[in-house]
Copies of this chain bind each other. A is one copy, B any other.
Amino acid sequence: MAATFKNIRSVIPLFDRVLVQRFKPETKTASGLFLPSSATSGTLPEATVIAVGPGVPDRNGKIVPPSVSAGDRVLLPSWGGNSIKVGEEEYFMFKDSDILAKIKE
């Protein structure tokens, strides 16, 4: 069920959690034609980082910040993540160590 808050910016991740929004498949071609649903279904492995937690302490008690930052474009694993619905949008919370890679074009 969708959350009662209206703005995903209200979510302040804890620990080493990373809040992301997946890329959405294009529904039109560059020239404006609608793509068939077979080309637009499925889940894209890319996401934009919305917010990150402060990190978790290592064995010496020092906080290790997450390896990604808000605004980063990242590659998600094909499993895991906790779905969060805000209005019509769906977001996911992953642990930092589950993020596979940054994407830099």
Complex interface bits, A84-98 against B, C-beta within 8 A gives 1, otherwise 0: 110000000100010
Interface size on A (CB < 8 Å)? 47
Q: Whole-angstrom distance from the CB of A12 to the nearest CB of chain B?
A: 4
- Asked if A20 is at the interface of the complex by the 8 Å CB criterion, the answer is no
- Asked if A70 is at the interface of the complex by the 8 Å CB criterion, the answer is no
- Whether the pair A77, B68 counts as a contact (CB closer than 8 A) is no
- Whether the pair A82, B57 counts as a contact (CB closer than 8 A) is no
What is the interface of chain A, defined by CB distance below 8 A to chain B? 1, 3-5, 7, 10-15, 17, 19, 23, 25, 41-46, 53, 57-62, 64, 67-68, 75, 77-78, 82-85, 93, 97, 99-105
